[in-house]
Each structure stands twice: as structure tokens, then as C-alpha cells.
Amino acid sequence: MQTVTFPFVQSPSTTGSADRFRRSLSCTVIALVCLLFSPGLASATDVVILKSSDIAAYNQAISGFKAALPNDVVLAEYDLQGDLEKGRKLARKIRAADPALVFAVGLKAAKAAQLEIVDIPVVYAMVLDPAKYGLNAPNMTGVLMEIPMERQLIMIKSLLPRLKHVGTLYDPSKTATLIEDARRLLKSNGTELVPIPLNNERDVPGALRTLLPSIDALWLVPDSTVLTDESLRFILNTALEERVPVVGFSREFARSGALLCLSVNYGDIGRQAGQLTRKILDGHLSLPAKPLHPDRIEMSLNRKTAKFLDIEIPRDLEEKADELY
């Protein structure tokens, strides 16, 4: 696998080497300009990776993506640096270069691709609720981050078989669709979802105290209004004080006291996107195609919390756990 990388130029260590350094730098700049704008690069590139910013989660997904591709695939990688307008400019250049496929990592990269690239296959990843942002163009598909509620419910009920009332806090402007889908599914399985809507982080303490006495478990959803560094600690501590188990979506929540957390591994998401890309490039999958749910779920359990709440963790469930605290 070939990846286009930028040359590293070391600064001169002595005054005597300054002229050589300037000549080297000039050659590097010229080479870089040719690399960026040469038609030859466009024709040689099979897959372009467009990432929203340079953060660990995105880079883990990209590593998984690359690992799933054949060694002879030629890659080029671009970083939006969090700037959607920059992303749109890059996307226009990418479209002109006409690669075989674009891998968009993160919402801004996916949005830039959706707005500017209409005739090249685009596979996205690391986007929460892509339907909300209109990422349903005929040339787009991807790997979702959401774990299907059916799979969550099976795993939750294997730990909490007497579960009848599940509570959650949510912001209707952000997670209303998720909550409504979960409510219907839980109802069909004999469990009631008790949701409390709120519009501000300041409403979390009052809403939580109202909710806890009427539920058997608290379900945390990825909602930035509800969950901040400060509110998460309050939610976990208060739920434990009221002896209500918490189910979350990050292993860090389990580390901090949640009973059970179901999450996705960013590298696995990238790997699955790479497998999807191979099918498209090999002609085994044509677009449009529905995005895929994660094929692997990580489970984290907190045994200390279970002991405190007098909850027995089935041995088979404990053996399947990816993380135990």
C-alpha cells in the first residue's frame, strides 16, 4: 500500500549549512507543489482519505481502514483541520482528480464530500446520526457508530432480566429520533422507556432526581446537552446513591462506575469501512447501499458496581466482556 506523505525537512544545526538548507527547502517546496497539483498524482491515487481533523479517534479509524485494504492500493490523505469550507475546497480538487473512492472520516469530512462529490463513491465513518445531516446521497454509504437497540436490549436483559422501566435524559433537538425508536422497541419487548427531555445542562440535576425513583436502570445516550465532564460525574454518583444501575456507551463510563457499557472500537469501525471499500472497488457492491451497523460490539462491566448493587453477573457474560473493572 502506498500513501502520499509530506517530506520532513530538518532545520540546519550550524550557520555553515544555512545555504544548503535553503537550497534543500526550495527543492522540497517545488516538489511539494508538483505533488499537490500534478495530474499524475490524481491518476495514480485509488482512494483518497478525507478526515475532519487530526484527532486520535479519527486516526484509529484510518489505521483500521488501511489495514483492511490490499497492499497495492494507492492512498492520499487530507486533513480539513476542522474547517468545513476548507473541506469543500479540498473535495472539489478531489473530485477533479477522480479517484476510485473517497473515505470521509468524521462529520465535516462527510458533509464536505456530500456537498461537492456527486459522481465518485464515498464511504464515511465516525459520524453520529448521519441521516440527521442528510448523508444519504446515492453515491454515499458508510459504517454507523450506533449499536442497534435490539442488540443492546439483549445484552442489557442478560444482566438485568427483571428490567421493566428504563429511564433516560435527552435533548429533543439532538436525540429525539433515537429515543423514539428505542421507546417503540422496548415497548414491544415488555419494557417501558421513561424519557425526560431537557434543553440545558443546568436542568440535569433536577431531571435526574425526578427520574431515578421510577426506574430500574438509567440508559445514557450520546447527547452533548446531557453529558459533559461535570454532569457525567454527578449522574453516576447520584444513580449509585439511589441504587440504580447505569448503562452507557463508553468504556470510560464503566471505569467511572457505570454497571454496563456497550461501545464500538474506532479501529474496528475503520476496518469495517475498509472491507466495505474493497467490495465497492472489486465490483461486488454497487451504490446506492444502506450504511452498515457495527459488526463488533465491545462490552465493559464494572464488578465493583455490581457487587454494591447486589447484582450477579452471569459467568458467560463476564467471560465475553472486553473490559472488567
pLDDT above 80 for 204? yes
Beta-carbon contacts of 216 under 8 Å, excluding residues fewer than 6 positions away, are: 160, 162, 163, 164, 165, 166, 244, 245
- 264, 275, 266: which is closest to 67 by C-alpha? 275
State the residue for C-alpha cell 430500574: 216
As a whole number, mean pLDDT of residues 184-213 equals 96
Mean pLDDT of 116-123: 97
Across the range 46-66, mean pLDDT stands at 98
Neighbours of 58 (CB within 10 A): 21
The answer on pLDDT for 73 being more than 50 is yes
Of the candidates 141, 102, 148, the one whose C-alpha atom is nearest the C-alpha of residue 290 is 141
Question: Stretch 130-136: mean pLDDT, rounded?
Answer: 91
Q: What's the rounded mean pLDDT across residues 119-124? A: 98
Tell whether the model's pLDDT for residue 126 goes beyond 60. Answer: yes
- Asked if residue 4 has pLDDT above 80, the reply is no
pLDDT, tens digit (0-9, with 9 covering 90-100), for 224-234: 999 998 999 99
159 close to 137: Cβ distance less than 8 angstroms: no
Residue 218 in contact with residue 244, Cβ under 8 Å? Answer: yes
Position 2 confidence tier, pLDDT thresholds 50, 70, 90: low
Predicted local distance difference test score (pLDDT) of residue 129: 87
* Cβ(201)–Cβ(184) below 8 Å: no
List, for residues 258-292, the tens digit of each pLDDT value: 999 999 999 999 999 999 999 999 999 999 999 99
Instruction: Show the DSSP H helices in 38-171 as ranges.
Output: 39-44, 56-67, 84-97, 107-116, 149-159
DSSP symbol at 203? G
- Which run of H or E residues covers position 245? none
Domains in the chain, CATH or no CATH each:
38-143+268-281 (3.40.50.2300), 149-263+297-324 (3.40.50.2300)
The string over 31-55, giving b where at least 16 C-beta atoms fall within 10 Å of a residue's C-beta and e elsewhere, is: eeeeeeeeeeebeebbbbbbbbbee
Q: Please tell me the distance from the alpha carbon of residue 64 to that of residue 49, in angstroms, as a whole number.
A: 13
Per-residue pLDDT band for 132 (boundaries 50, 70, 90) equals confident
Decide if pLDDT at 36 tops 60.
Answer: no
Q: What is the 3 state secondary structure string of 24-43?
A: HHHHHHHHHHHHHHCHHHHH
Which cell is 270 given?
475503520
Residue 184 has pLDDT above 60, yes or no: yes
Query: For residue 292, which phi and psi values (nearest 5 degrees)?
Result: -100, 145
Residue 17 has pLDDT above 70, yes or no: no
Please give the Cα distance from 257 to 165 (Å, whole number): 20
Q: Can you tell me the distance from the alpha carbon of 136 to that of 236, in angstroms, rounded to the nearest whole number?
A: 36
Task: Round the average pLDDT of the chain to a whole number and report it.
Answer: 88
